[in-house]
């Protein structure tokens, strides 16, 4: 074999996994490693940018996800089951074909994200080592690992994962208190829960468990899972791609026209869907602000059965102080001096990106790990505040205006955000703990590759 390791990188096919695994691939490539990056055929057809600028070290390959083109891929349990039942044999063959291309091409290690632990079993059958890169928080992973304990203590039901009764618990010794109704799997259904328990077992085949976090952000969770190595923040290169929606960079010039710390950035990641009434209330809330806003309105975010999103804006909405775009160059935005705060759904990638920009957060979690992530922002790091629903279950326009002003005027939060940025970014600098962990991993692959 050659001494240049060849990684087969396989994210679960949602953007929140594809982005960090692609960033990780770039880091490996800068260390001279070769990467084969798997995406599903469906996702490849949706891609809005070319893959040829990724350089000679990263090659894309595709496999079908087993679903029909018109199937609903926002139904995660359905996607998970389809991948599990149709992809393993195809993956087996694809890897054999790649390995057959010659000694220099042999795959050294398969790197997967969550929900596809079976891919490590395929690697195991072929005698290939595996690694697991968890793209969300270490605390969320620790919560999955604490499922047997939660069942033993009667806190959740062993078949559904749902709480036996609603209560506040502390998942880990140093983590914030949380409502059992917000445990990360509760919003995703019974099938997802059962799969996840099984998947966490398969992932144990991974010789390395890596996580896009740092020892300063989540010391408690990392202490609980000593095998999990922090390698974050994965921010070294601006590699986020226009995977599914075309990035609108004109907003960067628009931001240049605004004074420092004046613009409210609003974005809810790639999966969250907003009820049309809530969408209207948000629009009116942004109009009420005495400051400019940059709002990412992803096509169909308002869940309106593919009608034009413009149908969903209320008649009274002016939007004159704002700019609305379909998809943003988010990392660049979060590092732009004009940004005052980030209204976010609390997806882990958005949080890491916001922390690295030193930006205060206004938290609006939708599902899964996002509630737990919000607790870290508001209660542990204290770099943001949360939005509260009213008696009708809506986040009102008044609440949006009140919390934005509260947040933007809070000098303590601003100072803590800048401090957290420094602490976090230093982890990936040369000699920092995350960069040492990455080096260990790469050296292992080089030694093993021989």
Which spans of this chain sit near ligand UDX (rule: CB under 6 A)? 14-16, 19, 135-136, 240, 267, 269-272, 296, 327-328, 330-331, 347-350, 353, 368-370
Nearer to ligand UDX, 139 or 417 (CB): 139
What b-and-e string marks burial along 47-85, b requiring 16 or more CB atoms within 10 Å of the CB? eeeeeeebeebbeeeebebbbeeeeebeebbbbbbbbbe
Strand spans (E) along 64-137: 109-112, 129-134
The span from the CA of 411 to the CA of 403, in Å, is 14
Minimum CB separation of residue 12 from ligand UDX in Å reads 9
| Closer residue to ligand UDX, CB minimum distance, 49 or 96 | 49
- Cβ atoms of 381 and 420 closer than 8 Å: yes
Q: How far apart are alpha carbons 327 and 361 in whole angstroms?
A: 19
Residue whose CB is less far from ligand UDX, 58 or 107: 58
Contact between 174 and 264 under an 8 Å Cβ cutoff? The reply is no
Task: Compare residues 148 and 319 and give the one whose CB is closer to ligand UDX.
Answer: 319
Query: Crossing angle for the helix pair 76-99 and 118-125, nearest 10 degrees?
Result: 20
Residue nearest to ligand UDX (CB): 16
CB of 339 to ligand UDX, least distance (A): 13
With b for 16 or more beta-carbon neighbours within 10 A and e for fewer, the 384-414 pattern comes to: bbbbeeeeeeebbbebbbbbbeebbebeebb
Q: Which two tokens stand for residue 28?
A: 């490996």
* Minimum CB distance to ligand UDX smaller for 239 or for 437: 239
Give the shortest CB-267-to-ligand UDX separation in angstroms: 5
| C-beta atoms surrounding 168 within 10 Å | 9
Closer CB to ligand UDX, residue 108 or residue 113? Answer: 113
- Give min distance, CB of 272 to ligand UDX, in A: 6
**Residue 371 or 441 having the CB closest to ligand UDX:** 371
Give least dist CB 348 to ligand UDX, A.
3
Q: How far is the CB of 153 from ligand UDX (least distance, A)?
A: 26
Contact 221, 145 (CB under 8 A): no
Residues 61 and 38 sit within 8 Å (Cβ to Cβ): yes
Beta bridge pairs of residue 134: 211
* 430-434: long-range pairs with CB below 8 Å, 24+: 433/214, 433/215, 433/230, 434/214, 434/215, 434/230, 434/231, 434/232, 434/233
Closest to ligand UDX by CB, 143 vs 267, is 267
Q: What is the C-alpha to C-alpha distance for residues 420 and 376, in angstroms, rounded to an integer?
A: 12
Q: Smallest gap, in angstroms, from Cβ of residue 353 to ligand UDX?
A: 5
Instruction: Report the C-alpha dihedral over residues 74, 75, 76, 79, rounded to 10 degrees.
Output: -100
- State residue 170 phi and psi, 5-degree precision: -110, 115
Q: How far is the CB of 50 from ligand UDX (least distance, A)?
A: 17
CB of 195 to ligand UDX, least distance (A): 16
Of residues 448, 449, 438, 450, the one with CA closest to residue 29: 438
Q: Which is nearer to ligand UDX, 13 or 206 (CB)?
A: 13
- CA angle, corner 99, sides to 96 and 100, nearest 5? 85
**The dihedral of CA 78, 225, 10, 330: what is its sign?**
positive
Residue placing its CB nearer to ligand UDX in the complex, 334 or 413: 334
Q: Kindly tell me which of 108 and 312 has the beta carbon lying closer to ligand UDX.
A: 312
Shortest CB 325 distance to ligand UDX, Å: 7
Closest approach of Cβ 171 to ligand UDX, in Å? 16
Tokens of 373: 């992530």
């Amino acid at each position: 074999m050659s001494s240049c390791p060849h990684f087969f990188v396989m994210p679960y096919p949602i953007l929140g996994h594809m982005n960090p695994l692609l960033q990780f691939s770039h880091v490996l490539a800068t260390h001279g490693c070769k990467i084969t990056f798997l995406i599903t055929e469906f996702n490849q057809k949706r891609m809005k940018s070319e893959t040829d600028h990724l350089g000679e070290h990263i090659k894309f390959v595709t496999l079908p996800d087993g679903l029909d083109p018109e199937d609903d891929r926002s139904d995660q349990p359905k996607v998970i089951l389809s991948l599990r039942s149709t992809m393993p044999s195809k993956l087996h063959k694809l890897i054999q074909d790649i390995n057959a291309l010659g000694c220099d091409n042999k795959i050294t290690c398969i790197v997967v994200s969550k929900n596809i632990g079976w891919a490590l079993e395929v690697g195991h059958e072929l005698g290939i080592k595996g690694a697991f890169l968890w793209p969300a928080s270490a605390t969320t992973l620790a919560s999955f690992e604490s499922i047997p304990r939660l069942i033993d203590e009667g806190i959740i039901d062993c078949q559904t994962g749902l709480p036996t009764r609603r209560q506040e618990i502390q998942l880990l010794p140093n983590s914030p208190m949380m409502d059992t109704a917000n445990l990360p799997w509760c919003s995703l259904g019974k099938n997802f829960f059962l799969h996840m328990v099984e998947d966490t077992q398969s992932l144990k085949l991974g010789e390395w468990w890596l996580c896009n976090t740092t020892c300063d952000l989540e010391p408690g969770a990392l202490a609980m899972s000593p095998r999990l190595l922090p390698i974050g923040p994965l921010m070294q290169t601006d590699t986020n791609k226009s995977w599914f929606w075309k990035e609108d960079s004109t907003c960067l010039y628009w931001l240049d026209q605004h004074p420092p710390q004046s613009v409210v950035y609003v974005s809810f990641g790639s999966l969250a869907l907003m009820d049309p009434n809530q969408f209207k209330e948000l629009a009116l809330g942004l109009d009420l602000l005495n400051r400019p806003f940059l709002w990412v309105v992803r096509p169909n975010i308002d869940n309106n059965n593919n009608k034009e999103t413009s149908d969903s804006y209320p008649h009274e909405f002016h939007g004159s102080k704002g700019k609305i775009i379909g998809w943003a160059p988010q990392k660049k935005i979060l590092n732009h001096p004009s940004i005052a705060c980030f209204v976010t759904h609390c997806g882990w990638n958005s949080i890491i990106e916001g922390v690295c920009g030193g930006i205060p957060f206004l938290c609006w979690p939708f599902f899964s790990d996002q509630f737990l992530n919000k607790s870290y922002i508001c209660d542990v790091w204290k770099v943001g505040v949360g939005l509260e629903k009213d008696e009708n279950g809506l986040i009102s326009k008044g609440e949006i205006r009140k919390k934005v002003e509260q947040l933007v005027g809070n000098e303590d939060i601003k100072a803590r955000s800048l401090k957290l940025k420094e602490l976090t970014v230093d982890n990936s600098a040369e000699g920092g703990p995350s960069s040492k962990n990455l080096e260990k991993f790469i050296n292992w692959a080089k030694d093993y590759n021989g």
